[in-house]
Structure 1
């Protein structure tokens, strides 16, 4: 009778609480339960993180600067070749006689003579328009690369956030197990102190609960790593945290133990640190939203994926650059105009009006010659680059379709696994635990058998969390693979 009372007390005060689902205990849904994080850690949802990513993600900021650079390059490409102005004068003079002697060496100031020239390059073959076309295509490519960067950075954020929520949900399960086991151990220690059970029963229980402590520490570490990954994507310092914040204190040793201590009074729990940064990630991890869109529609959306569009625009820019290289067959003409004024003495016959200054004008046209090999070489380079861009565009499209095929297969498998757990696998594990509990109360099972059943239930809960994570990540992967927005879950 006394032993049965001990068993009943254990079930009511300890392990039975761990077997109850979260909704039956009135706890918040998975991913939303409050954790003992640091006081400075503020809650952050996935939608809030995505909004911050648009403004703060450094990779995205760098991609936007690429658009600014491409637009500035268009100003350069669309401008006319700048004319060149030259100004000079004769600074010295001397004469030579028939016998080779030099006479009359002198220097002149700019006030005595000046020469001004203007040189203008006239482009032929529509080179300016073609350069502008290349620059505009490069702007479009840079804009598409910004969208592709946003696509990949959003997926990395969602992947890190969902991974952190998985660790958080598993940590919530581990902490609930620890709380129940702590209550059970405290009760066993009191029973040992009162002489109701031998010390060996408590020692066997303490040895059997150690793996649950590993669940606490491993999931706390995984949650901290997930928070740090999210912080880095949001341009926050992952290492900026207050030392000692977010600590879960261990169960004090020796509570309820028999006088004199002994092995049963040794610590059985560890201290864990939860939040190393200023974020406490929150989300309804128990939700499993439907896809809401067909496979054929998603397959058509691959054509509009940002990297596919960027590759096509790169091909357009390469083709425009090839046409610009072919325009090099039309030789440009350089026009040089000059004017010179000189007040230097002139050896001219005497006339009625003495000469004060001489003004002269000049006009020159210059055309480059022997340019055929250079032009044909440039055309060959541009043609090869255009071929490369075409091959890259085709490869990008095929890779996008391969990504979609893999993402769709992953979605189907994740949905099937989630349906398995939602269809009763978790309920069967809970029922199995309750059956073992009832057998224990009736004296047909031992406390260690009940702990084994709790381990099975705990493993099933962890696997159910993993199935939810796989499904939510599969939705995010489908959006990343197809470029179709609105598929990723809203938690």
Structure 2
């Protein structure tokens, strides 16, 4: 056992020096074994291509676009003025005596036109403009949500590909270890129990390989559903392996102008415009009319003018104004709550991304190189009879755990980075700005 520990220390020192002097190759990034699966051959399918395809078939984007069109149509409706009305009246018809028939007919034709007072039309337009801006922001939110969904699904599929490659490599190593154990037992240098241990390890490795194949199939299917077509070729391993160096304190928090804050600001703008509309509706409108009356008996015509003003006796609009004012207060308070939540969420997302990057760099760098070197030395020493089988199995388990930790760290980094980009995404410039 002490010889294996010495080999581990030596491998760690060598890996640290190599890590400082060289960079990972493009063919096999950190944590990626050299062997590849034949099913994943061909040109890589990039995350940019996945985002492009998802944007074409996404029902969420289609719904958001329909909302924008509906809001724009609502803006046109809000700017329309009330329609005039034509009224035709016939009096003194079908009575008795001199009013029998149409001899005393008085026919009146008039045109009435409602006149809005108190700025109702401009207030409606303001509400419609605010809702149009909110729909545009919601469309941008839908795009940002789609992006994080695609990146998450892509990263999970890429990690599944990496785990499958690792499982292939572990299965190959398990078979080689079994053959080495059989040779040692046949030569009389080891107990037959070593063959049984190696065979158990081989069975477990083959079972893990089957599980990873199913996991990859499900992950690629999930991604294909989002982009609307099957995926051909492997995913971009270089993108999955790339982790930038993140040092120093967190960046300043700038929640103003983000999508979340823009949505809260738009909700407040709608509430402000609604208060103005409720206030304008307390002013009664006028209805003016003009027409002509024809008298059948004398064949004369007379002009008629009318003016009507509603009396706000039962509904003076005060309750509607109180409701709009309360909703405005709620929107303002909700905006302040959102500002606090967004600042905290961005800070947590920055920390998560930085911690995941640190973990990925550590697990994919010297630690993984040392584990691979220690396992290699243990295999050579086991074949030559210098190390026992338990030492070999311990080194292989360490290598497998380090590879899994590296893949998990890379997946956590990409998900955390996508979440941070979602929280800090900038809002589009709307017509109200």
What TM-score, normalized to structure 2?
0.80
Q: Specify every segment of 5 or more residues in structure 2 that has no aligned partner in the other structure, as ranges.
A: 1-22, 428-433
Residue pair 1:45, 1:282 contacting (<8 A) in 2 also = yes
Q: Is residue 335 of structure 1 aligned with residue 288 of structure 2?
A: yes
Alpha-carbon distance, 1:231 to partner? 2.7
Distance 2:25 2:149 in 1: 34
Alignment partner, residue 146 of structure 1: 139
Decide which of 208, 216, 219 is 1:215's aligned counterpart. 208
Q: Which protein is bigger by CA-based radius of gyration?
A: 1
Alpha-carbon distance, 1:136 to partner? 0.8
What SS does structure 2 have at the residue aligned with 1:74?
helix
Alignment partner, residue 155 of structure 1: 148
Alignment partner, residue 455 of structure 1: 397
What SS does structure 2 have at the residue aligned with 1:209?
helix
Deviations 1:338-386 (A, max 9, x none): 323354xx2xxxxxxxx4x232321111111135744101101110111
Alpha-carbon distance, 1:465 to partner? 1.4
Distance 1:25 1:68 in 2: 50
Deviations 1:248-285 (A, max 9, x none): xxxxxxxxxxxxxxxxxxxxxxxxxxxxx445551122
Decide which of 159, 170, 173 is 2:166's aligned counterpart. 173
Alpha-carbon distance, 1:443 to partner? 1.4
Q: Which structure 2 residues correspond to residues 276-425 of structure 1 after superposition, within 5 A?
A: 277-280=230-233, 282-283=235-236, 284=238, 285-290=240-245, 295-297=250-252, 299-300=253-254, 302-343=255-296, 346=297, 355=298, 357-371=299-313, 373-425=315-367
Larger helix share, 1 or 2: 2
Q: Which structure 2 residues correspond to residues 194-233 of structure 1 after superposition, within 5 A?
A: 202-233=195-226
Q: Specify every segment of 5 or more residues in structure 1 that has no aligned partner in the other structure, as ranges.
A: 1-22, 97-102, 237-276, 347-354, 486-491
Distance 1:116 1:223, change over 3 A: farther
Residue pair 1:208, 1:448 contacting (<8 A) in 2 also = no
Deviations 1:414-450 (A, max 9, x none): 1332232245111221232133224313313344542
Residue pair 2:267, 2:331 contacting (<8 A) in 1 also = yes
Distance 1:214 1:378, change over 3 A: same
Alignment partner, residue 61 of structure 1: 62
What SS does structure 2 have at the residue aligned with 1:205?
helix
Residue pair 2:137, 2:259 contacting (<8 A) in 1 also = yes
Distance 1:77 1:423 in 2: 62
Deviations 1:174-200 (A, max 9, x none): 012223444565787899999999976
Alignment partner, residue 12 of structure 2: none
Distance 2:248 2:50 in 1: 25
Deviations 1:38-81 (A, max 9, x none): 99x99531011112233221112111111111110000111111
Single out whichever of 305-314 and 372-381 deviates more from structure 2: 372-381
Distance 1:314 1:144 in 2: 11
Residue pair 2:123, 2:273 contacting (<8 A) in 1 also = yes
Residue pair 2:346, 2:424 contacting (<8 A) in 1 also = yes
Distance 1:228 1:288 in 2: 26
What SS does structure 1 have at the residue aligned with 2:94?
strand
Distance 1:313 1:482, change over 3 A: same
Distance 1:232 1:374, change over 3 A: farther
Alpha-carbon distance, 1:165 to partner? 0.9
Distance 1:432 1:78, change over 3 A: same
What TM-score, normalized to structure 1?
0.72
Distance 2:219 2:355 in 1: 25
Distance 2:351 2:57 in 1: 33
Residue pair 1:31, 1:282 contacting (<8 A) in 2 also = no
Alpha-carbon distance, 1:325 to partner? 0.9
Alignment partner, residue 3 of structure 2: none
Distance 1:173 1:139 in 2: 51
Distance 1:392 1:281 in 2: 45
Residue pair 2:33, 2:169 contacting (<8 A) in 1 also = no
Residue pair 1:291, 1:475 contacting (<8 A) in 2 also = no
